[in-house]
Structures are given as structure tokens and as C-alpha cells.
Chain A
Amino acid sequence: MGALRYSLLGAAIALIGAMPAAPSLPDDVVAAAAAVPIQDGGRVKPLDTYARFSLLQLSGRSVLRSESGDTIEAMPWLLECLFDPATAGTRDVFLIENPEVMEALHLDHATPRERFAYAALTPARPILFNLARQYGALPSESRTAAQKQTLQLASNLRLFEAITHAITALARNPDLPSLSDLLAGNAGGDDEQRTRQLALRFVALERASALAMIPPDPASNTPAEWKTPKALVQDALAGKPPAAAQLEVLRALEHLANTGLNAETAIADFESMKQAAARVMRGDRSFAQLPRELFFYRLQPFYWSLVLYGVAFLLVACGWILPRQRLLYGLGVLSLCLPLGLHILGIALRCVIRGRPPVSTLYETILFVTAVAVVVALVVEIINRRRVALGLGAFLGALGLFLAARYEAIDRSDTMPNLIAVLDTNFWLSTHVTTVTMGYAAGLLAGAVAHVFLLGKTLGSRRQDPVFYAHLSRMVYGIFCFGLLFATVGTVLGGIWANESWGRFWGWDPKENGALMIVLWGLAVLHARIGGYIQDYGLNMAAVFGGIVVAYSWFGVNLLGVGLHSYGFTSGIQTALTQFYRVESIVLTIAAIGWLREQGIIRIVLK
């Protein structure tokens, strides 16, 4: 029946050809709802975070746009899903990035990457779930991109349905007592009648398997597990009655389901849910961090850092045009410090919220590597004041945070997840992972500075200024050595961790090999330089190649899909990485031609 309703609505919308305007919700209601705690992915988080990552998972974006061009933030979108599912079902939310999938589902599409509304997908629902069943039975490593996307879409559709039923399924039913009355034993009737009514309520909640907003029973054996209303009914049917705090939250949810987002009462309901959860979770460290997490996402430190790094780069570039303007130089330095401070604040907030060192996921490596690269660039700039490191610092800062945002959009999952058992150790995360990623940062920065040397030399820029190039080479050498120090120590520490956890220092796992390759390349270059086998040109070319080795170690080996560190497998990253390899190969080729020309070899050959 629901499917038919959505189909008709979808057809109507298609005829009219317009999406509804953005939901108009009072700010204080949205703010109160955003702070409600919920358990998802094994951790308690604000509803705001849940909304962000649910929308990201479905649409690949953390905000939507209405037809009129208005921005719809994740929280108002989630509230619309919860309280007005029919309208939410008409918004183009479901991202499909594979034309094969669209064709298999008979969806009209003009481009290979489109978003569809739930109403538009509903007619294809039976085909979709049938395909998902077939593809789900295949071994995961043998699934094609289209099969993976089909499974993802089916999972997204289920999530959307679970969200849209989460509150509406609790609405008043004239034929049945309220769920809270039934669970509290206030509904009257005998046990048999109560069990029958509970079973009927359970059927109504069939799809409402999302939003575990009911805190755990403090007296339970598994106190950490939060519940959905459906799970609460399951417990009750299994003879486990709900605790008082759980009933309090359930009553607030029912009240919300019956009255909707009424500004006068909704805030009180959300507050009541928060208070009940706070009583149960008193003394819990992660629960106490919820306001900080809310602040973190409202602040959006990485977004603003990205913008400010861009501004800083423009200021530094102005300084290149007007090199005698000391004020401009000072402004450039300051303008880099500002986003860097915000960037570090963001990383620090994440550390505090999760109680973990700065790097524990692939996403966090991007944030951290970028911050370290900018810090090292700033230190180098303070030492030699050539404006090169300053510009590169700003450029790399913006590039790194842009890549972090892209990674988040591709990965489409919570960036502060729980860690699997072997990774859940702050000692090794803060030693091995931190040092090895500092090695990545320095390796990439050395490669970036080397670009300036190679392209400058090849294009004949500042030909009369050999001191400039000598300084650049010294800079590259220094950063390269810094990177080698951290990569070596980090790699050996990784071995020691592996020895502690798995019983072997070295297992030739691809990720281990990737780190080893950085170290080996660094050592080869260092010895070749000391032995006089390579000069400035060679060193700079080696540093650019070092950047390729770092990229391979950082992301490339994860894409092989084998080994103990095989995570974050995404085709988007593969494409970006291939392009990086290509660009760097072109740079190296151009540099090699430049070197041959400088040595007079090309001229001799032409003669």
C-alpha cells in the first residue's frame, strides 16, 4: 500500500516536474533534535552526526538542494524523513553512479551519475531486491562494480525505509493501546491479550529497525546496547520488561509521533529524551563528549581551513608578484597560521571526542598528513624565508583537505568509527601510526618542493639565480631526511607492534611492504647523494619519485585487496591515484628532458 502511495506521488511529482521546497522548521526545534543521543555503528553519537552520515551514505553529499536552490541541511532532511516521509520520498536523494544499475532497474537517466527519489525507485524495488539477493550470494571479491552498487542501493533503500518508519510507526492506533502503556503494563487486559497486542505492535514496527535512541537498561547484562522501539518490544516478548528511563524516551517518541514537530512540545520531548539518556549514561566518557561532537560538526573546521588555505595561497602568490612588500609577506605567513590553527583544532577535537590519538583511520591519515606537511612547510619557511615553502604549505593544505572531503564523500561512512580489536590500542596508534604518517607527509612535501626546482629549471625560470636552486635542493634534502627518519622509525615500530599482536616482526603484508618501499627509496637516494652519484637534479627527481612511492604505500597497496591492512577499497581512489601517477610521470619525463638539455646531451644527439 505504502509502495503504491509513493508510486502515485512520484508520478504526480514527475508530471509537475518539481521537487518540494526545503522544509521550514524552527531553528530551535532542529537544534534540540540534533542533540538527541543515538547509538549507531556501535557508538553513541548526536542525532546530528547520524543525519549527516545517513544523508552522505544515501546521496554522497552532506547537504541537499531543493528545486528552488535552497540548501537542505542533513538534520532538517532527517526530521522530514521521520515526520513527513511522503515529502521526503520525493526528494532526489539516492545516488547511482553506474549506468548499468540504472538500466537494470529501468530508470530513465540522462547522465551516468544521477540521484533518484524514493518514489521513483519504488516501482523498481522488487527487481532491485531480487538482484541484491543474487549478488549477495557471490563472493565479495568477485562482485563487479555494478553488482556492488546494486547491493549498496538496496542497503540504502532499506535504511531509508527504516528511518521513515522509525517514528511514524509509533503513531496512535485507535484499535490498540499505546506501546508505552503496553510495555509498562498500564493497558489493562490479561496477559494473553497484552501479548497479542504487543505482537500486533511488533508487526507495525516491522520496518522500523533504525534509530536506536532508547538508552540501555542499567540493570541489563549488556548495558551498552541501545534499543529501537522494535527491539524493546522483542525484549518484552522475551520476558524482559523495559526500565523506567527507556519508557520515558519511548513516551517522548510516541508523543512526537502523535503531535509532529510542534514547536511548543517537540523541544520538550527532545529534551526529555536527552535527560533520560543522561541519567542512564552518567559517568560514561563517550556520552560526555556528545556536546563536543555537536560543536565539531557545527564548526566544520576542515571546511573553513580549506577555504582559508585557499585565501592564504592567493596572498602568498600576490607576494611572489610583489616580492618587496614585507607587509604582504607577513600577511601571507599569518594567513597560513590561521587555517593551520583551525586544522589542528579540528584534529584535536576529534582526539578528545573519541579519546584516541590523531590517526586511526585512513580518512584521519589525510587530515594528519596534511597538517604535518603544512607545519613542516611553515618551519622550513621560517628557516629560509624563500616564500616557496609558504606557498606550497598553503597549496598542500588546501589540496589535502579537499582530498579529505572527497574521501569522505566516496567512503560515505562515519569518520569516527569504532576500531577493530587489534587497532584498539592507543600506545601503538600514537607511536607507529603517527610516526609513519609523519614520514608520508615529509615525503610528499619534499616531492612538492622538488616540483618547483624541476619545473623552474626546465622552464628556464630564474636562470641567473643559482643560489635559489641551491636553497631549494637543500630544502628538499632536509625534508627528505626528516621524512626518512620518521618513515624508518615508524616502519620498525609497526614491525614491533606486529610482533606483539601477531607473533611476527615482518610478514610481507602489502602495507608493511609499502612502508618499507618508502624507507628503501629514502636510503637509496641518501646513499647515492652522499656517494656523489646524484647531484641536485637527481635529488629532486628522486624526491618526486619518492612522492609516487609514498602515494603507493599510503593508498595504492590498500587497493590491491589483499593483506591484513586491506581496507578502504574504493574505485574513486583508484582513479585519483592513477591520475596522480600519470601526472608525476609526465613531470619526471619533462625534468629528465630538462636535465639532458642542461647537460648538453640533447643538443649532441640532435647534431
Chain B
Amino acid sequence: MSPTSANAPVEPRGIAARLLQGARALIALLSSFGLASALFVWLLVLTYLGTLDQVTAGLLHAQQTYFASFLLLHPVFGFPIPLPGAYLVLLLLFVNISLGTLRHLRRGWAHLGMLMVHGGILVLLLGAFVSFHYAYGGQMTLRQGQPVNYFERDHDWELVLTAPNATEDTPTAILPGALFADLSRQESRPVELQNTPFTLEIFGYQPEAMLLPDGAVPNRDAPVVDGFFLAADPPDAMPGPRAPGLYLHVTPKGESVPQTVLLWGLQENPATLPLDSGVWQFALRRTREALPFTLTLDAFTREVYPGTNTPRAFSSTITRTEGPLEERVLISMNQPMRYKGYVFYQSSWGPQNAGPGVERYSILAVAHNPADRFPRYACAFVALGMTVHFATKLIRHVRREMAGETR
């Protein structure tokens, strides 16, 4: 061995050493400032694209396409280009911040501020992850004096079958959305039901349909029931609400010809079908989530600024009943009720054009989020950390400037 080769750095040998070197390089990349910068810039681009998308495609579409996705296809000059979505970017950011904090920050008082800031951001990202996967919410409509012990989920739907002797609150069968949400318009799915005098087949499911009268559009491609049909692709400019809709083939047992039922999410009343055993009701409604307590609206108050229609305040006085326990609670704007992991917010009211003397109902938004308080802790960490860090920097800068001036 020559003296030159004896002094040269020892080259890693073997697969283990190469793997170790590769792992180090990967960790260096994953924890680098460069990756952090790139991720922040990419999140900025996604945020911008998602904001613009809301104008044309609506909030839900933008959310699903840009912010909740791992990968997405964004049209560039008409060509769909695959791009990383916010979910993937945030995941990488979590890894980057965790590793970067460990790697770059030397322990000690001088870096305490930055440690707190990064800890806060991690808490925030963790909160976002928990909320994304485990939080759910919906709405609750309360009419004066009527107790309610459930709320309706925002984006989940269920199919409800009610026998002649049953009621809407205690239906005969509830078919979850998973049973039809994956169907395309052309597909159908038979449903096995017990204790019903008919067989059922779901078909023509459309997640964002309009209910239109026959003849409203030139090229109808769905069956007409009682003069109406479900339009899957109405023109964008066509005014009117959109909601999930589907068709049912109901075939009474012993018969071979099915009867067609049309169901649309925003129908006020259930569809009815007279059979030999009586009149059955069918409805497509938002999934109901049971609450472990009951809320009853005692009074709804809406105030406007005098002489205007500008709302000044609105609030609901409710009675919360849980077994023998009864408590009166006031829910108003910016003052929600938190109870047993649920949070109830004053969201809206109806009817919107109610004249004097018409009793208004109250609409509460309901949220169940295990990470409800995470942003608070994160905010406290970030604010305190940034204050400590920048104050340290500022003091150092001022001292340097002052020293420079005296020289």
C-alpha cells in the first residue's frame, strides 16, 4: 500500500456501508432546507391553483382535487399533467420538519425559539392529519319544542325504506351510501333485503344531479318518473341546486315487472309506492349520526340592525337532555356549545324570507373533531417561539448596528 493511499479517506465498502451512505444522503435530502423551501413553494402553487379552481368548479371540487389528494391531474394547455397533491406535500413536510429540527437545531437556549416554532408547526400538521381522517360534521335542524337526538352528515347519504306501519325516524331499513356511491350511471346493483315484500335494484346513481322536468334539456338519457328525471350533466350555467340522485327498480315478490322510483337528495318528501301491503316510502337523505343526548329548541332569536336587513346577532336557546339531566344552553355566533366531544355552532336559520309571526327554525353546524384544540396549542407554540427567536435576532442586530455606529 502506497503512502498516498494510506492517507486517503476510507471508502465505504460492502452493501451495508453503501446502504448506510444512501440512508444518510436520503436523510440529508429529507431534512434539507432546500426540500423545505421547495415544499413551501409547491404548497403555495397548490393553494393558488385551488383558490382559482373554486371560482369555476366550487369549493368541494377544489378541496378534493388540490388539497385532499396525494396526486392530481392539472390541465396545462388542455393536457392533464400529474402533480403532487397537498396531502403528499404535507406528509413530506412533516418528515422534513421532524428530521430537520433534529438535524439542524443544536440544542441550547439560542435555538429554543426555533425549536418551539417547529414543534408548533408539527402539532398543527398532526392536527390536520387527525382532522382529515377522524373528524366529521354535519348540520342539525331544530324546530321549537321538538327534541332531536341526531345530526345529518354533510357529504354522506343513505337510502331509507319505510314500511306502511313505520315512521321516518324508525325506518324499516337504512342502506348506507357505500352500497351505491361507487356505482356509475350505467351500473346497477341488486340489494338483498329481508322482511320486505319486494326486491330492490339500484341504478342510475349520479353524485351531482339536478332534478328537471321532462323536456328541460334536449338530450335526456335517464328515465322519467312522474314527469321528472335526474340530469347528470346539466349546463354549468343552468341555475338550481345539485345533489346526489338515483333510481330504484322495486319488484313486488311474485311479480316480474318492476316499478321505477326516482330519489333525489333535496326532495322535501319521500317517494311513495303503493303495494299490496300498503304504501311504502323511499328516501335518499343525508346520513344521520346519533347523538348520546337530545337537544330541544326553546327559542330562536334573530336581531337585525334597526332599519336594515343586516343581521346583528342570532342565537338559539336550547335544552340539552341526557337521561335525567337537563340543562339550558345559549348558542350564538362565536359562542358554540362543546359537549362530549361534539361542538355545536349557530350556523343559520330558516325560512330565510319568513315574515312577521312565522316561527323560525334554527340550524346548528355540528363538528366532532378529536384534534379540535390542536391549532390553539400550535398557535401558542409558534407565536411564543417566533417572538423569542426574532427578539433574539433583533437585539443582536440592534447591538451590531449600534456598535457599528459608535465605531
Residues of chain A whose beta carbon lies under 8 Å from any beta carbon of chain B: 39-43, 139, 212, 216, 222, 224-226, 383-385, 418, 420-422, 424-425, 428, 474, 478, 481-482, 484-485, 488-489, 492-493, 495-497, 499-510, 513-514, 516-517, 520-521, 523-525, 527-528, 530-533, 549, 557, 560-563
| Interface residues in B, total, Cβ within 8 A | 62
Give min CB distance, A510 to chain B, whole Å: 5
| 25 sampled A-B residue pairs with Cβ under 8 A | A39-B307, A42-B306, A383-B397, A383-B401, A385-B405, A421-B311, A421-B313, A422-B334, A474-B397, A478-B397, A481-B393, A482-B390, A488-B386, A489-B382, A492-B379, A503-B347, A503-B367, A507-B59, A508-B54, A508-B63, A510-B51, A521-B40, A531-B33, A533-B37, A549-B44
Q: Contact at A501–B33, with CB atoms within 8 Å?
A: no
What are the interface flags for B26-60 relative to A under an 8 Å C-beta threshold, 1 for contact and 0 otherwise? 00000011101110110110011011101100010
Contact of B379 among A489, A500, A560, A561 (CB under 8 A): A489
In the assembly, what is the distance between CA of A523 and CA of B387, in Å? 16
B163 shortest CB reach to chain A, Å: 36
Contact among B37, B47, B311, B378 for A527, CB-based, below 8 A: B37
Question: Which of B76-84, B124-132, B258-266 contacts its partner?
Answer: B124-132
How many whole Å from B87's CB to the nearest CB in chain A? 13
Identify 19 new A-B residue pairs, CB closer than 8 A, beyond the known A226-B307, A499-B375.
A41-B305, A41-B307, A42-B305, A224-B306, A383-B397, A418-B308, A420-B311, A478-B397, A482-B390, A488-B382, A502-B345, A503-B365, A503-B367, A505-B131, A508-B51, A521-B40, A527-B34, A528-B37, A563-B59
Closest chain A residue to B43 by CB distance? A520
**Are A383 and B398 in contact, with the CB atoms below 8 A?**
yes
Interface positions, chain B 321-370, Cβ under 8 Å from A, are 333-334, 336, 343, 345, 347, 365-367
CA A40 – CA B308 in complex, angstroms? 9
Query: Nearest Cβ distance between residue A135 and chain B, in whole angstroms?
Result: 16
Complex contacts, A517 vs chain B, CB 8 Å? 44, 47-48
A508 and B37 contacting across the interface, CB-CB below 8 Å: no
Chain A residue nearest to B32 in the complex (CB) = A531
CA distance A126 to B52 in the complex (A): 41
Residue pair B333, A501 in contact (C-beta under 8 Å) = yes
Q: With the chains together, A508 CA to B366 CA distance in Å? A: 19
Q: Do residues A524 and B37 form an inter-chain contact, with CB atoms below 8 A? A: yes
**B65-82: contact bitstring with A at CB < 8 Å (1 yes, 0 no)?**
001000000000000000
- Cβ of A495: which chain B residues have Cβ within 8 Å of it? 375, 379
**Residue B310 CB within 8 A of the other chain:** yes
List the B residue with the shortest CB-CB distance to A231.
B307
The answer to whether the Cβ of B293 comes within 8 Å of any Cβ in the partner chain is no
- Nearest CB of chain B from residue A40's CB, rounded to whole Å: 8
B365 touches A502 (CB 8 A): yes
The 8 Å CB contact of B47, one of A422, A516, A560, is: A516
Q: Is the CB of A520 within 8 A of B382?
A: no
Q: Is B189 an interface residue (CB 8 A)?
A: no
Please give me the residue from chain B that is nearest to A44 by CB atom: B306
A146-B38 Cα distance, complex, nearest whole Å: 45
Asked if B394 is an interface residue, CB under 8 A from chain A, the answer is yes
User: Which residues of chain A are near B401, meaning CB under 8 Å?
Assistant: 383-384
* Alpha-carbon separation in the docked complex, A424 to B335 (Å): 12
Give the distance to chain A from B400, nearest Cβ to Cβ, in Å.
9
Give the Cβ gap from A45 to chain B, nearest Cβ, in Å: 12
In the complex, the answer to whether A510 meets B336 with C-beta atoms within 8 Å is no
Q: Distance (Å) between the CB of B102 and the closest chain A CB?
A: 16
Decide: A496 and B379 in contact? CB cutoff 8 A. yes
Question: Within 8 Å of chain A (Cβ to Cβ): is B9?
Answer: no
Q: Which residues of A sit under 8 angstroms from B67, Cβ to Cβ?
A: 508
On chain A, the residues within 8 Å of B372 by CB distance are 499
Residues of B contacting A42 in the complex (Cβ-Cβ under 8 angstroms): 304-308, 310, 312
Looking at chain A's contact residues, is the secondary structure mostly helix, strand, loop, or mixed?
A: helix
Minimum distance in angstroms from A44 CB to a CB of chain B: 9
Produce 1/0 per residue, B230-257, CB < 8 A to A: 0000000001000000000000000000
Shortest beta-carbon distance, A66 to chain B, in Å?
A: 33
Partner of B33, one of A40, A489, A530: A530
Q: Contacts of B383 on A, CB cut-off 8 Å? A: 489, 492
Report yes or no: A421 in contact with B306, Cβ–Cβ below 8 A: no
Contact at B313–A492, with CB atoms within 8 Å?
A: no
A225 touches B312 (CB 8 A): no
Across-interface contacts of B38 in A (CB, < 8 A)? 524
B370-407 interface bits toward A, Cβ cutoff 8 Å, 1 = contact, 0 = none: 00100110110011001100100110011001000100
Q: Are B366 and A503 in contact, with the CB atoms below 8 A?
A: yes
B-side contacts of A484, CB under 8 Å: 386
A481 touches B312 (CB 8 A): no
Q: Cβ of B32 and Cβ of A563 under 8 Å apart? A: no
Q: Are A562 and B55 in contact (CB under 8 A)?
A: yes
Answer whether residue B314 sits at the interface, using C-beta atoms and an 8 A cutoff. Answer: yes
Residues of B within 8 A of A225 (CB): 306-307
Given known A-B contacts A492-B375, A496-B376, A562-B54, A527 and B306 have beta carbons under 8 A apart? no
Query: Judging by beta carbons under 8 Å apart, are A222 and B306 in contact?
Result: yes
Q: Let me know if A514 and B376 touch, CB within 8 A.
A: no
Contacts of B333 in A (CB 8 A): 421-422, 424-425, 501
Q: How far is the CB of B97 from chain A (nearest CB, A)?
A: 10
**Residues A503 and B345 in contact, CB atoms below 8 Å apart:** yes
Give complex CA distance A424, B55 in Å.
28
Does the CB pair A533–B34 fall under 8 Å?
Answer: yes
Q: Do the beta carbons of A560 and B54 come within 8 Å of each other?
A: yes
| CB nearest neighbor in B for A227 | B307
Interface bits B109-130 vs A (CB < 8 Å: 1, else 0): 0000000000000001001100
Is the CB of B62 closer than 8 A to any CB of chain A?
A: yes
Residues of B near A418 (CB, < 8 A) are: 305, 308, 310, 312
Nearest CB in chain B: distance from A25 CB, A? 28
A523 touches B40 (CB 8 A): yes
What is the bound-complex CA distance between A381 and B342, given in angstroms?
A: 51
* CA of A521 to CA of B41, assembled, Å: 7
**In the assembled complex, which residues on chain A have CB atoms less than 8 Å from the CB atom of B398?**
383
Judging by beta carbons under 8 Å apart, are B36 and A485 in contact?
A: no
- The CA of A514 and the CA of B50, in the complex, are separated in Å by 11
How many angstroms between the C-alpha atoms of A484 and B51 in the bound complex?
A: 21
A492 touches B387 (CB 8 A): no
Contact between chains at B345 and A501 (CB < 8 Å)? yes
From A222, A474, A520, contact of B44 by CB (8 A): A520
B137 CB-CB contact with A under 8 Å = yes
Q: Report Cα–Cα, A421/B345, bound state, in Å.
A: 13
> In the assembly, what is the distance between CA of A384 and CA of B379, in Å?
32
Residues of B within 8 A of A560 (CB): 51-52, 54-55
CA distance A39 to B382 in the complex (A): 45
Among A216, A501, A533, A561, which residue has the most Cβ atoms of chain B within 10 A?
A: A501
Closest to B315 in A: A421
Residues on A with beta carbons closer than 8 Å to the beta carbon of B308? 41-42, 418
